[in-house]
């Protein structure tokens, strides 16, 4: 049996099953694909593929569907990730270019990716260990209430209302803001709590308690930026694919709700030669996700954070990989401040 033809038969089965959701028979392969051989030869090829564990007959059907192993071989044999169409690229650029800050960028990204793939889109917030303090703002809400705003150089904005032990005037608060900016501007966010503990911002004795409270608020905001976070969109897409989850969709939805499983999975996924990470079915180390596939890639500084999708193993892998890669590239350019 020709190894090349066997792979062509597997490719044809994967493509037909992805689009039809129906088991694929030898006659359908001959009719739909230019394989250049008879139905009898195709049946022999399918028997060999089944013996290798790449396809399987569901129940008593005469047709075959891919196994996780079959999908893996298909994905590994994708020679290149096809580019998106020009309209798709323009849509990505238009949507992401209109974002105001990091939160807006993240939210737009997951919505867009979910729409492009009709799957659940997932994105990790970028790792902020290398991010630095760009600006600090203190807004007086009341004599003892101040809105503390911390802005990172990657666009991340955190805010907190501080309750002060004594009244503070606008001019005194402006002076304190200048002092905090002098001490922290351009400094790594990860080091802000330690720096404020070991090198307190100088202030008049009457303002010591105020400085302590503002310092505690800024330390809290800086620490919050380093927490691992993910955003999701398109969970409803799973409900429209219940036929793809014969066991139960419940554990999948629970894993999405908890988020810890997804964070671990994304962190553990390794990129291939194309810069893509694809985890298929039982390759996922978490039992709740054995009927799903995850396609992801890195983005941003060092490509340490991941953006991707989660969906049934029966998915259009080439198109999904192209969408994930394209969105990640635009996202990386936006975070780097490039046009």
Spell out where 7-102 has E strands: 55-56, 65-66
Are 48 and 30 within one domain? yes
Are 292 and 258 within one domain? yes
Are 269 and 298 within one domain? yes
**What pLDDT does residue 96 have?**
75
CATH number at residue 156: 3.30.390
Beta bridge partners of 132: 188
> Is position 295 within any domain?
yes
CATH number at residue 276: 3.30.450.40
> Is position 297 within any domain?
yes
Q: How far is residue 62's CA from residue 50's CA, in Å, rounded to a whole number? A: 13
Q: How far is residue 230's CA from residue 235's CA, in Å, rounded to a whole number? A: 14
Are 101 and 234 within one domain? yes
Is 0.75 surpassed by the pTM of this model?
Answer: no
Q: How far is residue 282's CA from residue 211's CA, in Å, rounded to a whole number? A: 54
Residue ending a domain, among 208, 225, 242, is 225
Q: How many CB atoms lie within 10 A of CB 195?
A: 19
Backbone phi and psi for residue 146, each to the nearest 5 degrees, phi listed first: -130, 130
- Residue 121 parent element (H or E): strand 120-124
Three-state helix/strand/coil letters over 168-204: CCHHHHHHHHHHHHHHHCCCEHHHHHHHHHHCCCCCC
Are 91 and 142 within one domain? no
Q: How far is residue 312's CA from residue 18's CA, in Å, rounded to a whole number? A: 10
Residue ending a domain, among 210, 225, 240, is 225
Residue ending a domain, among 76, 96, 116, is 76
> Is position 47 within any domain?
yes
Residue from 282, 250, 310, 286 nearest 124 by CA: 310
**What pLDDT does residue 26 have?**
87
> Is position 183 within any domain?
yes
> Is position 207 within any domain?
yes
Instruction: Kindly give, in sequence order, each residue whose CB lies less than 8 Å from that of residue 158, ignoring residues fewer than 6 positions away.
Output: 149, 150, 221, 222, 224, 225
Are 239 and 330 within one domain? yes
Q: How far is residue 324's CA from residue 332's CA, in Å, rounded to a whole number? A: 12
**What pLDDT does residue 295 have?**
95
| Contact between residue 74 and residue 11 where contact means Cβ atoms under 8 Å apart | yes
Are 149 and 237 within one domain? no
| Contact between residue 189 and residue 173 where contact means Cβ atoms under 8 Å apart | no
> Is position 81 within any domain?
no
Residue from 238, 242, 272, 240 nearest 255 by CA: 238
Are 323 and 255 within one domain? yes
Q: How far is residue 42's CA from residue 20's CA, in Å, rounded to a whole number? A: 19
Number of domains into which the chain is organized: 3
Are 243 and 113 within one domain? yes
**What pLDDT does residue 145 have?**
94
Task: Give the pLDDT means over successive 10-residue stretches in the chain (339 positions).
Answer: 83 91 88 83 90 87 88 84 75 76 86 92 78 91 93 82 92 93 89 85 87 91 73 86 75 82 81 83 87 91 84 92 90 73
Are 56 and 137 within one domain? no
**What pLDDT does residue 313 have?**
92
Backbone phi and psi for residue 315, each to the nearest 5 degrees, phi listed first: -135, 160
Q: How many CB atoms lie within 10 A of CB 225?
A: 22
Write out the residue range of the structural domain in which residue 164 sits. 133-225
CATH number at residue 40: 1.10.10.10
Q: How far is residue 197's CA from residue 208's CA, in Å, rounded to a whole number? A: 14
Structure tokens at 123: 């994105």
């Amino acid at each position: 049996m020709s190894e090349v033809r066997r792979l062509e038969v597997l490719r044809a089965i994967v493509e037909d099953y992805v689009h039809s959701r129906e088991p694929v028979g030898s006659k359908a392969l001959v009719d739909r694909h230019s394989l250049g051989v008879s139905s009898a030869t195709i049946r022999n090829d399918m028997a060999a593929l089944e013996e290798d564990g790449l396809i399987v007959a569901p129940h008593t059907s005469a047709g075959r569907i891919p196994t996780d192993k079959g999908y893996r071989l298909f994905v590994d044999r994708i020679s290149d990730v096809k580019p998106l169409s020009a309209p798709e690229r323009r849509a990505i650029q238009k949507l992401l270019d209109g974002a105001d800050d990091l939160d807006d960028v993240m939210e737009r990204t997951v919505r867009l990716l979910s729409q492009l793939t009709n799957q659940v889109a997932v994105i990790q917030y970028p790792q902020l260990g290398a991010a630095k303090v760009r600006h600090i703002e203190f807004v007086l809400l009341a004599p003892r209430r101040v809105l503390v705003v911390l802005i990172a150089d990657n666009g991340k904005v955190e805010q907190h209302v501080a309750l002060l032990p004594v009244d503070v005037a606008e001019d005194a608060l402006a002076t304190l803001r200048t002092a905090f900016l002098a001490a922290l501007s351009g400094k790594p966010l990860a080091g802000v709590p330690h720096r404020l503990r070991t090198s307190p911002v100088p202030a008049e004795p009457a303002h010591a308690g105020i400085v302590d409270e503002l310092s505690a608020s800024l330390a809290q905001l800086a620490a919050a930026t380093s927490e691992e976070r993910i955003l999701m969109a398109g969970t409803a897409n799973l409900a429209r694919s219940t036929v793809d989850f014969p066991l139960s969709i419940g554990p999948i939805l629970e894993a999405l709700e908890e988020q810890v499983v997804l964070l671990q999975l994304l962190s553990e996924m390794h990129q291939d030669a194309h810069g893509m990470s694809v985890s298929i079915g039982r390759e996922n180390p978490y039992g709740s996700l054995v009927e799903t596939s995850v396609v992801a890639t890195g983005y941003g500084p060092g490509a340490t954070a991941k953006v991707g999708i989660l969906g049934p193993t029966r998915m259009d892998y080439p198109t999904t990989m192209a969408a994930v890669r394209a969105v990640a590239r635009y996202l990386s350019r936006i975070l780097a401040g490039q046009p």
